[in-house]
Amino acid sequence: MAKQIVYHGSYCKVDNPQIRRGKYTKDFGIGFYCTILEEQAKKWADKYETHVLNIYEYDENPNLKIKEFTVMTEEWLDFIIDCRNGKKHDYDIVIGAMADDQVYSYITDLMDNNITREAFWELAKFKHPTHQIAFCTDKALECLKFLDVEEW
C-alpha cells in the first residue's frame, strides 16, 4: 500500500499522537482514530468549541498485525460489539466502516435483544460512506507522520 493522507478531528493540534483510554468504549477498542475522509474528520472536530483538523501521512508497516473490514459484515458487527463491551484484541491497526451515533443505537438495540440481526442490517444501511483507522499500539503510531493542522 502506498502512503496516504489521513485526518484526525479534534479540539487541539495533535502533532504527537498517543493512545489514551477514553471514558467510552469505541468501535475498534482503545486507539488513536483517524480517517481517510477529510469531511468526516471535520465532523468529529465540529463537536468541540475549537475545531482542529490534524493531517498525517500514513505509511503502512507490513510487519504489523492489521485487520481490515472492507465491507460491513457479520464479522465487523461482532468485532464492534466485542470492542464496545470491552473485549481486547491483539491487532496493531484496525480499519473499517464506522458505527456512527445512529448505527451505534441500532447496535445497542441488538445487544439489548430489542431487535434482530436482520432488523439491524436493514436499519444500518448508510446514506454516506464512513471510514476509520484505529492505531491501537505504539508501534502502529510510528506509521503516522504529522504534516499540518487546520483550524476554523
Residue 122, pLDDT > 90, answer no
Nearest to 143 by CA among 34, 58, 32: 58
Q: Which residue has the higher pLDDT, 72 or 75?
A: 75
* Cβ burial, residue 49 (10 Å; 0-12/13-18/19+): exposed
| Domain that residue 38 falls in | 4-151
In this structure, what DSSP letter does residue 35 have?
A: B
pLDDT of residue 132: 95
DSSP 10-24: ESS--SS------SS
The pLDDT tens digits for 90-118 are: 999 999 998 777 787 888 899 999 999 99
Write the DSSP assignment of 83-101 as a string of letters. Answer: HHTT-----SEEEE----H
In this structure, the number of other CB atoms found within 10 A of the CB of residue 15 comes to: 11
> Helices (DSSP H) in 33-150: which residue ranges?
38-46, 74-84, 101-111, 117-123, 138-141
Query: Cβ of 72: how many Cβ atoms within 10 Å?
Result: 18
Question: Reading across the β-sheet that carries 93-96, which strands appear in turn?
Answer: 32-34, 132-135, 93-96, 66-68
Distance CA 133, CA 8 (A): 10
Average pLDDT over residues 119-124: 86
The count of structural domains within the chain is 1
Please check the confidence at residue 123 and state whether its pLDDT lies above 90: no
Residue 127: per-residue pLDDT? 58
pLDDT in tens, 31-66: 999 999 999 999 999 999 999 999 999 999 999 999
| pLDDT at residue 81, as a whole number | 92
- Strand 52-58 and strand 32-34: pairing? unpaired
The mean pLDDT value for 7-24 works out to 90
The residue-averaged pLDDT of 57-85 equals 94
